[in-house]
Amino acid sequence: MSNLARKQQQPYIQPKIHTEPKIQPIHRCSQITLGEKLLAALVIAFVCIMAIKVIATQAAIYKVNKEIHQMEASVQTKKKVNEDLKMQVSDLSKYERIREIAKKQGLKMNDKNIKVVEGQ
d(CA 35, CA 71): 54
Amino acid 41 reads: A
Domain ranges of the chain: 47-105
Q: Residue 112: which pLDDT band, with cuts at 50, 70 and 90? A: confident
pTM given for the model? 0.51
Closest CA to 38 of 48, 46, 28: 46
d(CA 44, CA 51): 11
d(CA 65, CA 95): 47
Which pLDDT tens digit goes with each residue over 19-51?
A: 777 777 777 766 888 899 999 999 999 999 999
d(CA 94, CA 89): 9
* Amino acid 12: pLDDT: 63
Alpha helices (H) in the chain, listed in sequence order: 2-9, 34-92, 95-105
Spatial CB neighbours of 102, under 8 Å, sequence gap ≥ 6: 109
The sign of the CA dihedral 85, 88, 92, 93 is: positive
Distance of CA 114 to the CA centre of its chain: 68
Which pLDDT tens digit goes with each residue over 41-80?
A: 999 999 999 999 999 999 999 999 999 999 999 999 999 9
The residue that leads in pLDDT, 5 or 120, is 120
